[in-house]
Structure 1
Amino acid sequence: MGGYGDVKLLREDGKRLDGRAIDEMRPVTIEAGVLPAADGSAMVTHGLNVAVAAVYGPMEAHPRKIQRQDRAVIDVRYNMAPFSTGDRI
């Protein structure tokens, strides 16, 4: 059975497999206003990882019984392609 000992993390020249130096971070970008239909939105990238957030409202909560004047309801949806990670042990 394979384990972490089988994984090669560095090239022979001392760089990571993606070409970055040991102390080099992946590139990070932050962009606001990426979704024109949203009241607010942002996109954050970190290397090949991308996160997009959007805010719509104010609007009535559904079902109405969860609506409160002193709080907000946050609906979070997380999507990830099935092929984006390796098998877990």
Structure 2
Amino acid sequence: MDAENDKQRTTVTIYGQQYTIKGDESPEHVISVAEHLDQKMKEFKKYNPYLDTTRLAVLTALNVVDEYMKLQEKIDQYEKKERNEKDGERG
């Protein structure tokens, strides 16, 4: 069977628009991600009511990627600290 046919389709609504997402993740995960994005877009719209949908989507994406990068940085620092502590125990 073709791997492309194994992908799941999940329909979600983000900021009033329906999207069918096709991928390997469970429908529950896709729905959760979509709900988070929808909530973030509504939150930013509340503080920036004159933004059109495209600018709102870009602003939301920038903020979400910023959050992701900060979390990834914290994870990297934690992992580096863990490695250093393990190296200290060995030496």
TM-score by length of 2: 0.30
Answer with 1 or 2: which has the greater Rg.
Answer: 1
Q: Which of the pair is proportionally richer in helix?
A: 2
Q: Which of the pair is proportionally richer in strand?
A: 1
Question: Which fold has the larger relative contact order, with Cα–Cα distance below 8 Å and residues 6 or more apart in sequence?
Answer: 2
